[in-house]
Amino acid sequence: MKAYSISRYSKEDKLRLIEMPEPNLKDYEILVQVNAASINQLDSKIKSGELKLILPYKFPLVLGHDVSGIVTRVGSKVTKFKVGDEVYSRPSDFHIGTLAEYITIDEKDVALKPKNISFEEAASIPLVALTVWQAFVERAHLKKGQKVFIQAGSGGVGTIAIQLAKYLGATVATTTSAKNFDLVKSLGADLVIDYKTQDFEDVLKDYDLVLNSQDTKTLEKSLRILKAGGKVISISSPPTPIFAKEFDLPWYVKFATKLLSSKIRAKAKKLDVDYEFLFMKANGTQLAEIATLIEKNEIRPVIDKAFPFEQTNEALEYVESGRAKGKVVIKVK
């Protein structure tokens, strides 16, 4: 089968299109013929080596964290899926590799594809939707009437975050450029701030929750717009000792996270607010719940561009440019 791989950490190297054997199937795995995949910033961070302490992958490595496709074989102990099922997934860490014609995935990380969307649309959903679900539902327990600030509302995570927050009954503020105002308003944003001409810290006050996806300066400002007892959940930086313990990382990584997050944790404590770092986990059960919301038209995919499989490097470069509105998808089959 064909797949895009890397053989070392590098910002400059392009992904290499290689021929490799079809993956071996384990008892609890399904073999998925990939119809579509999508590119995430996570792929770029792994490729550059930015996450090598947290995710020490071996080479050669096939990238890709989102997939939709058709089940072609099932392992001997698989009970949830059968050959011919249309599925979607964010494979678990150390089992990634959706930028390929086939991939094996543990059945616990898979859900049936929402019936009312295409394979390309389905491939845009898993990583970003699971990130938002785990932030809002698992960690923050976001409730009706609360106020949430979602940074970069027109991005891959932001477009889904706005919709889920509105479904949960929250009031949503977000940042984007003026040209994307109509998009984020159509998704449900109540208050839209032009980050090029306005400072959100001057506009927002007494918020219950912030979903941080930007730099440290933005994170520090986000702490100050929260009311007492409020929470910032960051998906960008810095990782915390709690995260390191949760992922059972080596002692030196635990020590590094303690140092890296000490300043922001101290500032949060002084302001009587909470800071958490979130690194999402694969979860097929949550994907099934998200599929239900998609089929009820509570959440819709937002795709900027779809690239053919042969232009996967161009797709990655486009994501790295930071210009994408919503998700960038790869048509594999």
Residue 27: its pLDDT value, please? 98
**In a 3-state reduction of DSSP, which class is residue 106?**
strand
Neighbours of 98 (CB within 10 A): 32
What residue ranges in 13-60 does DSSP mark as E strands?
16-19, 29-39
Distances (CA, A) of 256 to 177, 207, 264, 332: 35, 30, 14, 39
**Extents of the domains making up the chain:** 2-125+301-331, 127-277
Q: Is the dihedral of CA 228, 230, 236, 242 positive or negative?
A: positive
Top-tier CATH class for 127-277: alpha beta
Residue 69: its pLDDT value, please? 98
pLDDT tens per residue across all 333 residues of the chain = 999 999 999 999 999 999 999 999 999 999 999 999 999 999 999 999 999 999 999 999 999 999 999 999 999 999 999 999 999 999 999 999 999 999 999 999 999 999 999 999 999 999 999 999 999 999 999 999 999 999 999 999 999 999 999 999 999 999 999 999 999 999 999 999 999 999 999 999 999 999 999 999 999 999 999 999 999 999 998 999 999 999 999 999 999 999 999 999 999 999 999 999 999 999 999 999 999 999 999 999 999 999 999 999 999 999 999 889 999 999 999
Residue 237: its pLDDT value, please? 83
Residue 8: its pLDDT value, please? 97
- Bridge partners of 74? 30
Was domain 2-125+301-331 assigned CATH 3.90.180.10? yes
Residue 22: its pLDDT value, please? 94
> What residues have CB less than 8 Å from 141, skipping those under 6 apart?
none
| Tokens 């009437």 belong to residue | 145
> What residues have CB less than 8 Å from 72, skipping those under 6 apart?
31, 32, 33, 83, 102
